[in-house]
Structure 1
Amino acid sequence: MKSNNSLTPSYFQFTVFADYGPLRYLFFSLSLLIYVTIISANLVIVLSVCLETSLHQPMYVFICCLCLNSLYGSTGFFPRFLVDLLSDTHFISCPLCFTEMYVTDTYVGYELTLLTVMAYDRFVAICQPLHYHSKMTFRTVLLLLSLAVLYPVWAFGYFFYQASTLPLCGNQLHKIFCTTLSIIKLSCVGTSVINIASQIIAVISVFTPLSFVLYTYLRILLVCRRSSSEFRGKALQTCLPHIVTFGNYCISLFCDFSLSWYKTDEVKTFSIVLSLEFLIIPPIINPLVYGLNLPQIRGVIFGFLRGRKNGLFYIIKITHKHRQKLIRSKSSFNHLMLF
């Protein structure tokens, strides 16, 4: 960024937070509960996939990466959000704002690309089952994950660079967290080219994956219609939640992006709800829909819990026997001391 302090504020201020009085502690407690739930649920899925060798398959690896992205995005948003709920002033330093901006933007991109890769994996598994193992090799999985990670970095890197180099004539952000577009709107110079480019990339980044996912699941539904009821039930159990959550995510993301170009004072509440929706709902739903909903992952988790329970009972049993042995030894010692 340029060194002129009049054009590069050292901090930004969030203007959408209100003084909720004692209610701030209720909102803080609920937000903290949501954050802990997100961390716990996604961490369970990640550890289950990493520690259980039977889950080292493409579908479960993609689910693990999706849960890792939920941990990544939540950690980039919630700590600062929790501080703002309890604070009377809502300022954020320039470096911290740009860090939060990068994390939240790339989290959104990773969510889109990973869900698209998962749709392709299901398409090959259901529509081309005989070629699945030849197509979804370790090298292919690594290539798909690399593309899923690199594309958001490239797509948002341009706007991140522009936001960090543009001269700014203000420091008030009408959002609950730092975003690239909200900072670009503070620019002292014209940004018509950036606006047009951002709209084009937004349409491509949202509707291209959505179109691909709709196409793959249409093909899957056609295959399921000609298959047995058992196969159809298993396929729909895996695919239907995916298409519903992915469609909802794309629509809410595009609406939030579109509203960012309008005066947020007119749609302040709606804009805040949309921002919270794609930052909070997916990290909660992902472990349930893509993790616990699958019997293989659920079986591993329950098996671990049963093993831990049995191990705990074994430790308690051994401890009880050892204590009884010590009591008998002490009694024998006291009996000998009487003589």
Structure 2
Amino acid sequence: VHEIVSFVLAAYGNVGALKYMYFVTILFWYLFICVANTILIVVIRVDRRLHEPMYILLCNLCVNEINSSTSLYPLLLSQMFSDSHEVTVPWCFLQMCCMYTTASVEFCSLAAMAYDRYIAICHPFSYNVIMNTERVFMLILLVWIFSFVSFLLSFSFIFGLRFCGNIIDNVYCDHQLIIRLSCSVSIHSSISIIFFVIMSIFIPFSLISASYVKILRVCRKTSTENKQKAVTTCTPQIVSVSNLFVGCIYEVPIILPIYLLICQPMLTPFIYGFNLPKIRQSHQRLMFKRKQISLFKMRLS
């Protein structure tokens, strides 16, 4: 069998002059995602009052949004002006690794944030002991290690496959389409996606659900003011989880749909930036200081 050294992404049609409009639109969207998430990271990094477990975990989520977008958009943009739409096998595997790992990190990060809210609301007096800075960074490290290991255990068998075709009918390297191109379908292919779903989606969703059920039970017995605080801090996470859940329902066969790579990275900085009062206030203070510095420089000149 002839060795396959590259795959052809066949979903790129000949759109003529429209490719320029598509290129600018996609580039603008990618840059917008990067800028929006970076602003939130900078605001949290600069303001010491935001150096709390919840905001550190949020920083990690924003970093992952940038990573997940970078796993898709640069290749997408580079293929816009390509005539062959070829991607080498190693690059294809690298993209697949990045996309699935960051997808797992997304779910696991939201599970870590749900656990943080559970401790803050249900065990407030023990919060500073349980969720200290060192443990938060250890939790983030575990999220990334768990996600990468989940990918390797689920899909590493693909790296050893021999391929009898190289046409992928998609705009990115989808694992299911890659498996279909193999000369012999391994038994691993039928259980790999089930294993990944259990490890990277079902387990995190179960932890998120358990956390919020316990939070709801505690909120029923607390004061109206505490209920409002709980709703304020939990709403962004519930929106994020709901968005991911809806995306998976509509794209069950493709666990990493384009929908999630387009909407979720942009949704995160806005729902947290606008809904969490501390971040809103910190951003306003930062902008006010920049205006003051600009005015001072203008007076000096």
TM-score (norm 1): 0.83
Q: Tell me how far apart the structure 2 counterparts of residues 130 and 181 of structure 1 sit (CA, whole Å).
A: 48
Matches within 5 A, 1:317-336: 317-319=299-301
1:316 equivalent in alignment to 2:292: no
Query: Which of these residues, 22, 25, 28, is aligned with residue 30 of structure 1?
Result: 25
Query: Counterpart in 2 of 1:62?
Result: 57
RMSD: 1.9
Letter matched to residue 11 of structure 2: V
Task: Please give the secondary structure, in 2, of the residue aligned with 1:258.
Answer: coil
Higher Cα radius of gyration: 1
Structure-2 residue corresponding to 1:44: 39
Question: Which residue number in structure 2 is paired with residue 125 of structure 1?
Answer: 120
- How far did 1:246 drift? 0.8
Q: Specify whether residues 254 and 95 from structure 1 end up closer, same or farther in structure 2 by C-alpha distance, changes over 3 A only.
A: farther
Question: Hey, what does 2:275 align to over in structure 1?
Answer: 293
Deviations 1:241-298 (A, max 9, x none): 31232133134236535258xxxxxxxxxxxxx7221112111011112234212112
**Identity level (%):** 31
- The separation in 2 between residues aligned to 1:55 and 1:132, in whole angstroms, is 16
Distance 1:239 1:191 in 2: 43
Q: Does 1:191 align with 2:186?
A: yes
Structure 1 match to 2:135: 140
Q: State the one-letter code of the partner of 1:284.
A: M
The residue identity in structure 2 corresponding to 1:214 is S
The one-letter code matched in structure 2 to 1:210 is F
- The DSSP-based 3-state class of the residue aligned with 2:79 is helix
Report what 1:89 is aligned to: 84
Residue identity opposite 1:138 in structure 2:
T
The one-letter amino acid of 1:121's match is: D
Q: Is 1:163 the equivalent of 2:158?
A: yes
Amino acid aligned to 2:251? D
Q: Which range moves more in the overlay, 72-81 or 110-119?
A: 72-81
Check conservation: 1:291, 1:297, Cα contact below 8 A. Answer: yes
- SS for the counterpart of 2:251 is helix
CA contact (8 A) 1:32 1:82 kept: yes
Q: Are the counterparts in 1 of residues 52 and 133 from structure 2 also a CA contact under 8 Å?
A: no
- Quote the Cα distance in structure 1 between the aligned partners of 2:71 and 2:195: 26
How far apart are the structure 2 equivalents of 1:66 and 1:141? 13
Cα deviation code 1:59-89 (max 9, x no counterpart): 0000000001111111221111112233343
Residue in 2 that maps onto 1:334: none
Deviation sequence 1:289-339 (CA, Å, 0-9, x none): 2234212112222111111111111111110xxxxxxxxxxxxxxxxxxxx
**Amino acid of the residue matched to residue 95 of structure 2?**
E
- Count of matched residue pairs: 301
CA shift, 1:129, in A, is 0.8
Give the Å deviation of 1:115.
Answer: 0.7
1:278 aligned partner: 260
